Amino acid sequence: MRDLLTKLIGEKKEWRAMEARAAALPEDYRVVYREIKKYVFNLAGGDGRSIVALLDDLLGLFETGAADGRRALEVTGDDVAGFCDELLRGARTYTQDWRERLNRTVQQELGDPS
């Protein structure tokens, strides 16, 4: 139980630190980060850890862009949804979970042991 509490508290501290980093970004980056965060969490699958790692990487990218004097849309491009889709390419999403569940159910129903 102690390990679980330590893990949860550690993750909460990490999340708060990430949110503080986001709050320190210029306004345009904060807006884009907030909207990307909503988008990716709507699609997050599994326990969400891959999404948190993705957002941490995104913050690093945004911090670098801001430090270089670039605007947020210069970093993401005008197609922010397309940018998000590329970010999500390696993350676990609900659609991936649904696809796997569909394939597994069909195989079980048809008696295929795979």
Is 13 a residue whose pLDDT tops 60?
A: yes
Residue 22's pLDDT band, with cuts at 50, 70 and 90, is very high
3-state DSSP of 56-110: HHHHHHHHHHHHCCCCHHHHHCCCHHHHHHHHHCCCCEHHHHHHHHHHHHHHHHC
* Cα–Cα distance measured from residue 114 to residue 107, given in angstroms and rounded to the nearest whole number: 7
Q: What is the pTM assigned to this prediction?
A: 0.74
List the domain range (segments joined by +) for residue 11: 2-109
Per-residue pLDDT averaged across 4-25, rounded? 78
- More confident position, 59 or 3: 59
pLDDT of residue 8: 44
Whether residue 114 lies inside any domain: the answer is no
pLDDT of residue 92: 65
Q: Find the helix or strand (DSSP H, E) in which 113 lies.
A: none
Whether residue 102 lies inside any domain: the answer is yes
Summarised one tens digit per residue, pLDDT across range 40-98 is 888 776 666 778 888 999 999 999 999 999 999 999 999 999 999 888 886 766 666 77
Whether residue 55 lies inside any domain: the answer is yes
Whether residue 64 lies inside any domain: the answer is yes
Residue owning tokens 């911090």: 63
Which amino acid would we find at residue 20? Answer: A
Instruction: Tell how far CA 80 is from the center of its chain.
Output: 14
Residue 114's pLDDT band, with cuts at 50, 70 and 90, is low
Per the structure, how many domains does the chain have? 1
* Cα–Cα distance measured from residue 15 to residue 48, given in angstroms and rounded to the nearest whole number: 12
Whether residue 65 lies inside any domain: the answer is yes
pLDDT of residue 72: 96
